[in-house]
Chains A and B, each alone.
Chain A
């Protein structure tokens, strides 16, 4: 079955610094990959998704992610962190063999002033 691993349960950056949240996937067939964000006391919102078109995917709020098949990775980046980016981020995977989506354990992003 497909799965994702998020490296680092907690990432802390300074405001204005680069944000890098890591996600590696495992899938026996081409995957579909997603990044979700969860703000405190809210549900999950989709940031971006990869569905086998362009390998560099741009999402909302200035985030982007690059699909790298050779590294089985789908890391999330943002050039300059903002205080409002502080949240929990989840990577998720599905594929044509498994319509259900599997989520990573999440990474909490803290942004310091």
Chain B
């Protein structure tokens, strides 16, 4: 019973391509997140959605576009991939109260060649 799942686990693609990463949670949470973790393990929040509405949109290139079709899903679409986009992307979910912990997916390792 996977709580937060992501697909694919690995993604290798060429510069300039467009790709999507999917995320689903079965915890009944109302808030979902996307994080980017670079090669030095630094974890940076990219987006946050609460009940399908965008809450947080950090300084992220507009090539990155999140889509939340429903509360249980938050997908990340990336246009015109660049070398610097290579990283591990994590999806997470929580109930939207500040004392609630976030539950993380296993990550998607994106490599742009």
Interface of A toward B, CB cutoff 8 Å? 32, 34, 36, 38, 41-46, 49, 51-52, 88, 90, 94-96, 98-103, 105-106, 108
Contacts and interface: CB of A to CB of B under 8 A. Distances in A.
Contacts, number: 55
Contacts of B96: 99
Q: How large is the interface on B (under 10, 10 to 19, 20 to 34, 35 or more residues)?
A: 20 to 34
Given A32-B99, A94-B98, A100 B41 contact: no
Given A49-B99, A94-B99, A100-B56, A43 B105 contact: yes
Contacts of A100: 45, 48, 55-56
A80 to B, nearest CB: 25
A49 B31 CA distance: 19
Given A51-B99, A95-B98, 17 more contacts: A32-B99, A34-B101, A41-B107, A42-B106, A43-B4, A45-B104, A90-B43, A94-B98, A94-B99, A99-B31, A99-B97, A99-B98, A100-B55, A101-B102, A103-B43, A105-B40, A106-B42
B34 interface: no
Contact of B90 (A44, A98, A105): A44
